[in-house]
A and B are shown apart, each in its own frame.
Chain A
Amino acid sequence: GENVEQHPSTLSVQEGDSAVIKCTYSDSASNYFPWYKQELGKGPQLIIDIRSNVGEKKDQRIAVTLNKTAKHFSLHITETQPEDSAVYFCAASTRGSSGSARQLTFGSGTQLTVLP
């Protein structure tokens, strides 16, 4: 089936430093790439997304880049703060397993810890 690989699985940074999480995907027809943040005991929440007709998108301290040729995309968080500590998931729109509507396939997640 379609695959989304996410690295690293854990990441620790000092407060104020930048954090980068990378994902690769296998479905060349994928055209939507969201990133979700999951705080402890909560459901995931969308923080930023990008579509295949755009190479980069930024929202304050968060940015996402997409390289369609290489089939990888990355999340960049600058000036990290303790409240950025959470699990982050990338996802890519992929062909449904039953051949119907496209669905989201998620990466395995990155536990980000921002050290004070």
Chain B
Amino acid sequence: NAGVTQTPKFQVLKTGQSMTLQCAQDMNHEYMSWYRQDPGMGLRLIHYSVGAGITDQGEVPNGYNVSRSTTEDFPLRLLSAAPSQTSVYFCASSSGGASTGELFFGEGSRLTVL
């Protein structure tokens, strides 16, 4: 029962470096999304996907890219990391959309940008 798996759990980057946060789910969910969690600000939606080949922007998409080539995987790319991207990132999936049913979250990826 893997559910939603995120890697890596921890990462330290220098400003300007690039990296990819991986997210995989084994529940055959069409909907997948990325959130960032910052103190006092709750969870903010970065990007989401309603199926393979379909992605869209959320509330805070700047500085991040996504793609959805398979139902299972939804990687989040930081092209040129900035200190403002220091955060905890959560991937979530759902069988329906975000506004219709339960979101299943991964355990998070803590990113520090120096």
**How many residues of chain A have a CB within 8 Å of chain B?**
31
List residues of B whose CB falls within 8 A of some A CB.
Answer: 4, 33, 35, 40-45, 48, 50, 56-59, 90, 92, 97-100, 102-103, 105-108
Partner of A104, one of B45, B106, B108: B45
Number of A-B contacts (CB under 8 A): 77
Docked Cα-Cα span, A109 to B41, in Å, equals 8
Closest 7 CB pairs of A and B: A43-B105, A93-B99, A106-B42, A102-B99, A106-B43, A108-B42, A46-B102
> Would you mind naming 14 contact pairs between A and B with Cβ atoms under 8 Å apart?
A6-B42, A9-B40, A34-B102, A41-B108, A43-B105, A44-B90, A44-B103, A46-B103, A93-B100, A97-B57, A97-B58, A101-B97, A106-B42, A108-B42
Chain A residues with CB below 8 A from B41, complex form: 108
User: Given A101-B56, A103-B58, do A89 and B43 touch, yes or no (CB 8 Å)?
Assistant: yes
